[in-house]
C-alpha cells in the first residue's frame, strides 16, 4: 500500500509522548490547518496514530489539547454556497474577517471547511468568492478610529451619498469596519460630526431641481466653479455629475444658464 503523505515540515521518527502529541495538535490548529480525522489521515498520519495510541481516539486527543472536537467536525455541515452566504452576512455586520480573528472565534469550523482543497483552498480565495477584496479588509482593519472618521468627512465633502444603502454598494469595506468600531453606521456618522437624519433623508434630485439649484447659486452671487460648489453645496455638485443627470458639472451649468 502506498504510504500516506506527511506534512513536509514534520520530522519523521519523532519521539512521541502525550505532551508532544498535544503540542503538535495545538501547533497544527494555530497554523490554521484542519483537524478533522480524515484530513489528518492524509496529511499527518504519524500524529494521528500517536494520538490514538496515547488517548484512545483522535477526538479525545483533540479535546485534551483544549479544543472542541464537536466544532471541528461541524465542517461537514458547510457547503461552498453556505460559506459564501455566511461570509457576506458577517461582512455586512462588520465582523472582523481576518483569518486569525475567524480562527479564534465561533466560525472556525467554517474556515476549516473553506480552506479544504476541494472547496476554496485558502481563506483568501473564500473571501474573493464572496465578492470581497481581502486587501480592502486588511487596509481598513489597520486604520485608527480617527482615520475612519476623516474618511467619512472626506466623502461627505465630495458629495458622496453616505446612506447605509449606498455605502454598502460603493464602500462596503469602510461601512463594515465603521460598524465594528463604532457599533453602527449612524454612530460613526455622528462621531464624524455629521447629522445622520439629514443624510438618511437626503434630497432626491431631478434635472429640474439641479438646474434650479445652480441658478439659485448664481443669483446669490456664488461662484459656479466646481471647487466652490463642492464647498458650499456638495450634494448639488454630486447629483449634477451623475450620469443619469448631466454627467459633469460643466454640462449641468451649461444647461442651467442656456
- How far is it, in rounded angstroms, from Cα 136 to Cα 146? 18
Q: Which domain holds residue 176?
A: 145-198
Between 76 and 193, name the one with better pLDDT: 193
Q: Is residue 6 part of a domain?
A: no
pLDDT-based confidence at residue 20 (cuts at 50, 70, 90): very high
Q: Is residue 174 part of a domain?
A: yes
Listed residues 136, 170, 189: the one ending a domain: 136
Which pTM was predicted? 0.38
- How far is it, in rounded angstroms, from Cα 21 to Cα 62? 9
Return the minimum-mean-pLDDT range out of 18-27, 35-44, 191-200, 203-212: 35-44
Query: How confident is the model at residue 253, as a pLDDT?
Result: 94
pLDDT-based confidence at residue 140 (cuts at 50, 70, 90): low
Q: Is residue 85 part of a domain?
A: no
Q: Is residue 10 part of a domain?
A: no
- How far is it, in rounded angstroms, from Cα 14 to Cα 162? 59
Q: Taking Cα atoms as reference points, which of 220, 202, 217, 228 lies closest to residue 256? A: 217
Phi/psi at 124 (5° precision): -60, -45
Q: Is residue 233 part of a domain?
A: yes
**The C-alpha cell that represents 236 in the structure block:** 448639488
Q: How many helices (H) and strands (E) does the chain have?
A: 19, 0
Q: Which secondary-structure segment (H or E) carries 25?
A: helix 18-30
Query: How confident is the model at residue 139, as a pLDDT?
Result: 61
Say if residue 159 is in the same domain as residue 192.
yes
Q: Taking Cα atoms as reference points, which of 21, 32, 96, 31 lies closest to residue 62? A: 21
Q: Is residue 1 part of a domain?
A: no
Say if residue 68 is in the same domain as residue 107.
no
Domain count, the chain: 4
Q: Is residue 47 part of a domain?
A: yes
Does the structure show a pLDDT above 80 at 53? yes
Let me know: does 154 contact 192? Beta carbons within 8 Å. no
Does the structure show a pLDDT above 80 at 135? no
Query: How confident is the model at residue 8, as a pLDDT?
Result: 41
- How confident is the model over 142-185, as pLDDT tens digits? 678 898 899 898 888 877 778 887 787 777 778 888 888 888 89
Q: If you average pLDDT over residues 181-209, what whole number do you get?
A: 83
Measuring CA to CA, how many Å separate 209 from each of 135, 177, 200, 221?
Answer: 40, 35, 19, 19
Say if residue 165 is in the same domain as residue 193.
yes
Say if residue 152 is in the same domain as residue 131.
no
Q: Taking Cα atoms as reference points, which of 247, 254, 243 lies closest to residue 211? A: 254
Q: Is residue 5 part of a domain?
A: no
Does the structure show a pLDDT above 80 at 244? yes
Say if residue 41 is in the same domain as residue 66.
yes
First to last CA, the chain: 86
Query: How confident is the model at residue 77, as a pLDDT?
Result: 67
Query: Angle, nearest 10°, between helix axes 207-219 and 249-257?
Result: 80
Amino acid at each position: 500500500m502506498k504510504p500516506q503523505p506527511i506534512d513536509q515540515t514534520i520530522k519523521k521518527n519523532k519521539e512521541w509522548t502525550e505532551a508532544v502529541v498535544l503540542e503538535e495538535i495545538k501547533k497544527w490548529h494555530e497554523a490554521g490547518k484542519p483537524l478533522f480525522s480524515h484530513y489528518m489521515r492524509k496529511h499527518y498520519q504519524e500524529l494521528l496514530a500517536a494520538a490514538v495510541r496515547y488517548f484512545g481516539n483522535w477526538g479525545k486527543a483533540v479535546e485534551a489539547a483544549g479544543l472542541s472536537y464537536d466544532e471541528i467536525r461541524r465542517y461537514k455541515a458547510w457547503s461552498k454556497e453556505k460559506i459564501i452566504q455566511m461570509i457576506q452576512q458577517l461582512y455586512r455586520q462588520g465582523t472582523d474577517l481576518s483569518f486569525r480573528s475567524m480562527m479564534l472565534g465561533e466560525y472556525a469550523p467554517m474556515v476549516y471547511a473553506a480552506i479544504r482543497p476541494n472547496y476554496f483552498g485558502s481563506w483568501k480565495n473564500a473571501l474573493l468568492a464572496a465578492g470581497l477584496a481581502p486587501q480592502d479588509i486588511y487596509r481598513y482593519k489597520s486604520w485608527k478610529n480617527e482615520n475612519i472618521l476623516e474618511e467619512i468627512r472626506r466623502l461627505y465633502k465630495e458629495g458622496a451619498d453616505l446612506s447605509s444603502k449606498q455605502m454598502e454598494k460603493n464602500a462596503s469595506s469602510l461601512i463594515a469596519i465603521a460598524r465594528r468600531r463604532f457599533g453602527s453606521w449612524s454612530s460613526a456618522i455622528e462621531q464624524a460630526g455629521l447629522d445622520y437624519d439629514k443624510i438618511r433623508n437626503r434630497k432626491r434630485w431631478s434635472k429640474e431641481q439641479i438646474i434650479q439649484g445652480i441658478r439659485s447659486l448664481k443669483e446669490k452671487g456664488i461662484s459656479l466653479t466646481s471647487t466652490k460648489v463642492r464647498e458650499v453645496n456638495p450634494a448639488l455638485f454630486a447629483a449634477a455629475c451623475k450620469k443619469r443627470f448631466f454627467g459633469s458639472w460643466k454640462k449641468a451649468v451649461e444647461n442651467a444658464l442656456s
